[in-house]
Structure 1
Amino acid sequence: MPLITDVRVTSFALADYERPYWNAILTTRHRALTFVEVETDSGETGLALAEGRTAAYAGPLRERLLGQDPLDSARLWHRMFTGWRKPVAKGDAIAAIGGVDNALWDLRGKLLGLPVYRLLGGFRSRVPVYAAGGYYEEGKGIDGLVAELERFVAAGYKNVKMKIGGASFAEDVERVHAAREAVGADVGLMIDANNAWNSAEALRFIRAVEDCTPMWFEEPCWPDDLAGMAELRRATAVPIASGEIEYTRWGARDLIESGAVDIVQADPQTGGGLTEWVRIAALASARHLPMAPHGDQYVGAHAVAAVDNGMIVESYAGLRPWQEDYVTTLPVVDGELVLPDTPGLGIEVDWDRLRQDAERVG
């Protein structure tokens, strides 16, 4: 069996957005892609996308993995989590472990000749998908929001998500009503506040848009306010979704046991990787809660397809169409993503074009 010979993290800075966009808390100005590669002495390499900050942790993680058997998924996750620092269960170190862990799963798939979702459980080969967007932009307005969501629906999406919490109460209420009217009653409409409010403010808002029948109300409260989210959940029939900024099974355990969520959104990259994500999915399944992972479809599709409580996959394909210039994406067929039969995660990168364009700006 091949052994691990290197772990490499490479980041590419691309041209900045001409029009930055923002949610309730953060503004996105820069285009960038970061990849993790895990190499073996057999010549096979695992590949995954990662957070930009992963490079800061590459050295210690590499030391923990060199010479190891890449098929030992649980043992390698444990080695990355312990031994080179005081174990912590939150933050950038966990996200870095997640990127490397996903590259290891891609490697395992290539070594064994199977797509990752089948290695993780293989519950189904097609998964529902939604288009994430509806951000704020200078000069965009409600007309621009409506046009964006209509474009998603025209592209084949049966579910779309928009941002709230970054404008006045009245404007955001108007935006949600305009979005519902534009996409129609048969399209799922999610609303995402990105932790903008306390529970009282969140309740006031959801009461104002309940007639729009949101598919879910995402991250309504401050991330540490589990009690407030549980109170909100009891006060509305709209499902509460959260968990994208929780880390590991221990953070997910607290979120679930607090009664704060109807839908668990653990991120299969930043939450600790696919190894940890399926553990979180098992915790959620024990409480009959569905999983709707945050993050790109490249890994999220494999996560949702692997487990019996996988609900839906997030896609940024409409929001960041430039990514498809460099990284292959999955086709949307009748509102679903079709998982590839190719071994591993099925991520293919146009390295020549990526290096050329990155060099052009940097």
Structure 2
Amino acid sequence: MLSHPLERRNFIKLCAGMSAAFGGASLLSTPAQTAPPLLQQAQNKIDNLKIVDLKYLEMKFPGKLPVKWNSIIKSGGGTPGMTQMEIHTNQGIIGRSLPKGPRSVAEKIFKKIKGENPFFVERIWDRMYRENRKPVAKGDYIKAMGSIDIAIWDIIGKALGLPVYKVLGGFQSKVRVYAAGGYYREDKSINDLADEMEGYVNDGFRAVKMKVGGADFNTDVERVRVVRETIGPDIDLLLDANNKWYAYDAIRFGRAVEKFNPFWFEEPVVPDDFAGCAEVKNAIDIPIVAGENEYTRWGCRDLIVNNSADILNLDTVNAGGITEYRKIASMASAFHIPVAPHGDPHMAVHLVASIPNALIMETYPGVQSQYNPALKLFPVKNGYIEVPNFPGIGIDPDPADVKKYAK
């Protein structure tokens, strides 16, 4: 510490003497550096990269989705397909994501960022959020923002020739995953459910998730018992109520299945009942998961300050994309809360690989393996997947699949 004026003068004289000894090169100033030509050329390309257009790729696949339901919503029955958002640049790089929310909302937002350099991703996110009549904190607007944000990260990774998790700053190259399934179906018995869960284990998963709340109390408890006995004590069993119950019902159910050692109890009460979720959390010995119906860091903040969850599972797209989710994860880490992103794993995997408090990632092998031939499953080994090492996000479709399935 050079606190005395004379000490500072002596230090400057010493540096001047050393400068003379080294041929006059100053140690107190750095001359302007000139980048090698190839590096300068690459820098110029990045500096001149611009967002120019928004398009969509739609693909339809053969077959019919099975009709299934959770505790509150019936789905399926239609033609399987996939939509990809495409953000085009002036240099031919196309950023892709699997979008959520109405296309009309995304098109409106896109007008605010057209012409921006994708590398200014923080400014882009802020501009999308704030340059509205009033900032919108929830709903389709944030879903559209998240869809655009992930496509922009895809551009950045491709421009640098790196997978996005390495651009973000990697934390892990393998990610723990669970198989999400266990839906209710008209012709599905408890033994069929057990066979489904056992099939995921045989495919390499060490954690499986099933739905609860869609049958009567005793039947649902029996479903949990049979699945636990089928998969054994060493496989993690996750329960998802999809916001079915009031707090007292969720507590009653949680106490009834505690003996089967669930890994977690997800969304036990309606999404806006922060106090009820906290009540469930404090009443049972199963970790409570919540957040997939929340948006942005401010939704995360509300869950945390209300002590509503042990684990946060905001959706990567719905929460506002990778840019926003990293803030969410940082906020959660300050309270020693892990995150486990809900939703499509292809949208979450690079985020999960770049943050230290990611617990586990959701996958849908039962649906994606059978009904989406253009988006390959991640191979699972001992409960983990390797993070894709392609430039960008890694969801670019095979041209042969586009030719075969595009509308």
Pairing 1:162-311 to 2, within 5 Å after superposition: 162-311=210-359
* 293 and 355 in structure 1: CA distance in 2 versus 1, 3 angstrom threshold: same
SS in 2 for 1:318: helix
Quick check: which has more Rg, 1 or 2? 2
Residue 319 of structure 1, CA deviation: 3.2
Once residues 32 and 95 of structure 1 are traced to their aligned partners in structure 2, the CA distance between those partners, rounded to angstroms, is 19
Across the two proteins, how many residue pairs are aligned to each other? 358
Once residues 72 and 297 of structure 2 are traced to their aligned partners in structure 1, the CA distance between those partners, rounded to angstroms, is 26
Q: Which amino acid aligns with 1:338?
A: E
Once residues 10 and 18 of structure 1 are traced to their aligned partners in structure 2, the CA distance between those partners, rounded to angstroms, is 20
* 343 and 70 in structure 1: CA distance in 2 versus 1, 3 angstrom threshold: same
Range 66-75 or range 344-353, more displaced: 344-353
SS in 1 for 2:151: helix
Q: Which amino acid aligns with 1:228?
A: G
Residue 317 of structure 1, CA deviation: 2.0
Residue 296 of structure 1, CA deviation: 1.3
Pairing 1:69-88 to 2, within 5 Å after superposition: 69-88=117-136
For the 8 Å contact 2:58–2:406, the answer to whether it is kept is no
RMSD over aligned CA atoms reads 1.6
TM-score (norm 2): 0.85
- Please name the residue that 1:55 is paired with: 103
Residue 121 of structure 1, CA deviation: 2.8
Q: Deviations over 1:245-265 (max 9, x none)?
A: 100000110011110100010
- Please name the residue that 2:54 is paired with: 7
Once residues 328 and 349 of structure 1 are traced to their aligned partners in structure 2, the CA distance between those partners, rounded to angstroms, is 9
Residue 68 of structure 1, CA deviation: 0.5
Q: Which amino acid aligns with 1:80?
A: M
2:171 is the alignment partner of 1:123: yes
Once residues 288 and 18 of structure 1 are traced to their aligned partners in structure 2, the CA distance between those partners, rounded to angstroms, is 40
Once residues 371 and 350 of structure 2 are traced to their aligned partners in structure 1, the CA distance between those partners, rounded to angstroms, is 19
- Please name the residue that 2:66 is paired with: 19
- Please name the residue that 1:28 is paired with: 75
For the 8 Å contact 2:263–2:287, the answer to whether it is kept is yes
Q: Which amino acid aligns with 2:292?
A: E
Identity across the alignment (%): 44
Once residues 358 and 348 of structure 1 are traced to their aligned partners in structure 2, the CA distance between those partners, rounded to angstroms, is 13
For the 8 Å contact 1:317–1:323, the answer to whether it is kept is no
Once residues 287 and 158 of structure 2 are traced to their aligned partners in structure 1, the CA distance between those partners, rounded to angstroms, is 38
2:360 is the alignment partner of 1:321: no
Range 11-20 or range 269-278, more displaced: 11-20
Q: Which amino acid aligns with 1:37?
A: E
Once residues 118 and 183 of structure 1 are traced to their aligned partners in structure 2, the CA distance between those partners, rounded to angstroms, is 35
Residue 62 of structure 1, CA deviation: 1.9
- Please name the residue that 1:37 is paired with: 86
SS in 2 for 1:231: helix
SS in 2 for 1:137: coil
SS in 2 for 1:261: coil
Residue 124 of structure 1, CA deviation: 0.7
Range 192-201 or range 348-357, more displaced: 348-357
Once residues 315 and 56 of structure 1 are traced to their aligned partners in structure 2, the CA distance between those partners, rounded to angstroms, is 28
Residue 38 of structure 1, CA deviation: 1.0
TM-score (norm 1): 0.95
2:185 is the alignment partner of 1:137: yes
Range 13-22 or range 72-81, more displaced: 13-22
SS in 1 for 2:365: coil
List alignment gaps of at least 5 residues for structure 2: 1-46
Range 295-304 or range 154-163, more displaced: 295-304
SS in 2 for 1:267: coil
SS in 1 for 2:131: coil
